[in-house]
């Protein structure tokens, strides 16, 4: 009898080994075994599974139905019965079988996963997410995924990606691997790849809240609030009290300019989490954007009091350019910087905050030391070559000739609604935005990411990945396609136009790199290039920590070369499209406000309005580091601030050459 059982087990193992490579042979072997051993549940299970793998759903259903009648208390049989029913299109019956399976065995993880997929197919998102949450709580990742996650959390991205890519070669449908790869891409700021990987993960597992949250974070990093909100709505339906979800909801609302709605969310959160330093910081962010600077400072200070180690709150205080630290606060930051466990971004944030604190005291050498250390830490953590920007400018100059642009002068959308403010950061663009937004026909929005999104689709990746097709890839587009992209941009920007004025501002500084694309798809849009003197601009950028995107700003040499590349490209467009781009020189604006404002409004085909000169009286949400500065009259003190650091600027002067 024992020998007979051993023979059966051996034959079952051999038949099961054929399931992936030759399911028909496995079915044949299982049927033969069932003839010899009619009471073998294992042989019947194998037969049903093999027939389902062959696409014979009806035959598989019959096998499992017989088993289910014979063993009504087997959760595993109910699970396989449900899979066969689902394969045959009998969704309601499959769901009933799965419900029976989880009633019999609540810890049967795969049954919850299958139930999640059926709810997704039936357009029942909440039930889908609830079922997947049960699955996720029951299943444990294998050791390899745990190792990959540890590498990811330790910022060892190359090693993490190598491990995950090997896993993906073995199984293309492993959503855990896809999610972690998406997180890697997000940390590298390769957001197109992050969106693709996380989207594939959600296609395989529609109820995966962890992947959905990562996708929200990817959109948040790109400032795409309209994409964040539907995902957050679904996450909050599952967990209405989740702190992360509600905080991200406030961020999305604030990015959309819905300042009061964001404040309402955060006010509720402070009632629920009064000791959470991050909630206080986000509350301060929204207060600041709404022009409530004193209340914002108090909220930031509450955050630092609750958690003196919380570098981001200290950095946020330093980012308020009109704020000055006390000696006691400086002492706390310096003590935190001495802690060995303060590493990475936290250390960078403390360095920049202390740089601002010491600069305000006139200790410029000490301040520069903090700025230099912070920038060096950030520069060492990224893979960036400023030569990519220089080559990009060369490609633009070779493509966008007078002839090329003249042949496409009537392409694109005819809308004259957008006003693009471009240039390098810290050049006065927020001031120009505030001036224009004080006009009755112009609405200020924020730095919109939509031109960059379109450019990326044509190969304008910011990551160093070899030869790039953009902007040459634009040459193949027809007039109709260019118009479609222009209309798409307008549609994507529409949610930010809360006042419905005839014109709106897109103040994404890096759009200078896409002047040619803007011309092709929106030939009647206005483009305003706000420029600041080279040394003044570059030093201002070196003193400002940009947490992502502005990779050129972490080195004086990179800054000088990038500034030259910017000037070269804008000079090219001045030559091939004379008068197309209106330039506002920041120093001239400070010296002759009314004259420069009149010229700017004339370029935008707008009548002069006195409130544009009293821009500081305009009440609106401002979401840049200059938010306090544009709420007071124009001042000249900042023009020569760079001279405080002149002894240490030799690398910058060398890189700027004649522009210095």
User: What DSSP line would sit under 252-274, residue for residue?
Assistant: HHHHTT-HHHHHHHHHHHHHH-T
Distance CA(116)–CA(119), nearest Å, equals 5
pLDDT along the chain (660 residues), means of 10: 60 75 78 80 80 84 85 88 88 92 92 93 94 91 86 84 88 86 87 91 94 94 90 96 94 88 94 95 91 92 96 94 92 94 91 96 96 92 87 95 95 96 93 94 91 89 62 95 97 91 95 97 97 95 84 94 97 97 95 94 96 82 51 66 94 94
Q: Which residues contact 141 (CB under 8 A, 6 or more apart)?
A: 149, 176
**C-alpha to C-alpha distances, 168 to 193, 195, 585, 651, nearest whole angstrom:** 15, 17, 52, 45
Query: CA-CA distance, 275 to 146, in Å (whole number)?
Result: 31
513: nearest Cα among 501, 527, 523, 526: 527
- Helix axis angle for 75-87 and 57-70, nearest 10°, is 160
What's residue 384's pLDDT? Answer: 85
Note the pLDDT of residue 629: 53
pLDDT for res 386 = 93
Please name the helix (run of DSSP H) or strand (run of DSSP E) that holds residue 31, with its range, or none: helix 23-36
C-alpha closest to that of 497 among 417, 581, 617: 417
Q: Looking at residue 21, what is its pLDDT? A: 78
Say if residues 402 and 510 touch (Cβ distance below 8 Å): no
Give residue 464's pLDDT.
47
> Quick check: 520 and 482 in contact, CB under 8 A?
yes
8-state DSSP, 201: H
Helices and strands of the chain, counted as H and E runs: 33, 5
pLDDT of residue 1: 43
| Helix, strand, coil share (%) of the chain residues, nearest 5 | 70, 5, 30
Q: Write down all domains in the chain, each with its CATH number in brackets.
A: 2-138 (1.25.40.10), 153-222 (1.25.40.10), 387-449+480-659 (3.40.50.300)
Looking at residue 2, its pLDDT comes to 43
pLDDT at 223: 84
Calpha distance 274→258 (Å, rounded): 23
Q: What is the pLDDT of residue 465?
A: 52
């Amino acid at each position: 009898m024992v020998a007979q059982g051993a023979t059966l087990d051996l034959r079952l193992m051999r038949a099961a080994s054929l399931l992936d490579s030759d399911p028909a042979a496995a079915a044949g072997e299982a049927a033969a075994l069932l003839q010899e051993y009619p009471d073998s549940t294992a042989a019947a299970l194998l037969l049903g599974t093999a027939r389902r793998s062959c696409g014979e759903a009806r035959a598989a259903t019959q096998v499992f139905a017989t088993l289910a009648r014979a063993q009504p208390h087997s959760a595993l049989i109910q699970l396989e019965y449900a899979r066969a029913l689902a394969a045959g299109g009998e969704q309601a019956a499959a769901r009933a079988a799965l419900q029976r399976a989880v009633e019999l065995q609540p810890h049967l993880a795969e049954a919850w996963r299958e139930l999640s997929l059926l709810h997704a197919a039936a357009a029942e998102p909440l039930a889908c997410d609830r079922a997947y949450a049960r699955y996720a709580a029951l299943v444990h990742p294998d050791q390899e995924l745990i190792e990959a996650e540890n590498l990811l959390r330790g910022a060892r991205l190359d090693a993490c990606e190598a491990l995950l890519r090997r896993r993906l070669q073995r199984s293309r449908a492993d959503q855990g691997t896809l999610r972690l790869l998406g997180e890697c891409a997000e940390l590298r700021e390769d957001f197109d790849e992050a969106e693709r990987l996380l989207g594939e993960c959600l296609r395989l597992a529609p109820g995966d809240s962890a992947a959905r949250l990562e996708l929200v974070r990817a959109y948040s990093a790109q400032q795409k609030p309209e994409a964040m909100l539907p995902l957050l709505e679904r996450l909050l339906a599952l967990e209405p009290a989740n702190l992360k979800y509600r905080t991200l909801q406030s961020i999305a609302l604030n990015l959309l300019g819905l300042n009061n709605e964001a404040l309402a969310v955060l006010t509720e959160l402070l009632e629920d989490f009064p000791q959470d330093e991050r909630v206080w910081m986000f509350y301060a962010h929204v207060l600041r954007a709404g022009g409530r600077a004193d209340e914002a400072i108090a909220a930031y200070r509450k955050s630092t009091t609750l958690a003196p180690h919380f570098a981001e709150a200290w950095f946020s205080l330093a980012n308020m350019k009109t704020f000055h630290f006390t000696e006691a606060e400086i002492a706390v930051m310096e003590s935190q910087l001495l802690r060995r466990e303060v590493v990475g971004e936290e250390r960078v944030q403390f360095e920049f905050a202390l740089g601002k604190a010491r600069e305000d005291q006139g200790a410029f050498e000490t301040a520069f030391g903090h700025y230099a250390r912070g920038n060096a830490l950030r520069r060492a953590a990224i893979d960036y070559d400023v030569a990519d920007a220089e080559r990009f400018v060369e490609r633009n100059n070779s493509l966008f000739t007078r002839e090329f642009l003249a042949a496409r002068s009537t392409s694109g959308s005819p809308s004259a609604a957008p006003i693009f403010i471009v240039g390098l950061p810290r050049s006065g663009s927020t001031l120009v935005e505030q001036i224009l937004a004080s006009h009755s026909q112009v609405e200020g929005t924020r730095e919109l990411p939509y031109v960059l999104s379109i450019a990326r689709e044509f190969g304008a990746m910011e990551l160093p990945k070899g030869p790039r097709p953009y902007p040459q890839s634009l040459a193949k587009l027809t007039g109709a396609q260019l118009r479609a992209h222009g209309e798409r941009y307008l549609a994507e920007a529409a949610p930010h136009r809360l006042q419905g004025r005839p014109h709106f501002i897109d103040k994404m500084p890096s759009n200078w790199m896409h002047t040619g694309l803007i011309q092709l798809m929106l030939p009647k849009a206005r483009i305003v290039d706000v420029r600041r003197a080279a040394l003044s601009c570059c030093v201002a950028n070196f003193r400002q920590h940009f947490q992502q995107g502005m990779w050129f700003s972490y080195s004086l040499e990179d800054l000088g070369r990038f500034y030259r590349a910017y000037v070269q490209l804008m000079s090219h467009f001045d030559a091939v499209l004379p008068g197309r781009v209106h330039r506002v020189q920041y120093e001239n604006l400070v010296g002759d406000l009314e004259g420069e404002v009149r010229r700017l409004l004339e370029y935008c085909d707008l009548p002069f309005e006195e409130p544009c000169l009293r821009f500081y009286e305009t009440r609106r949400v401002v979401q840049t580091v200059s938010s306090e500065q544009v709420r007071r009259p124009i001042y000249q003190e900042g023009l020569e601030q760079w001279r405080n650091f002149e002894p240490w600027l030799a690398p910058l002067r060398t890189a700027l050459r004649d522009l210095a």
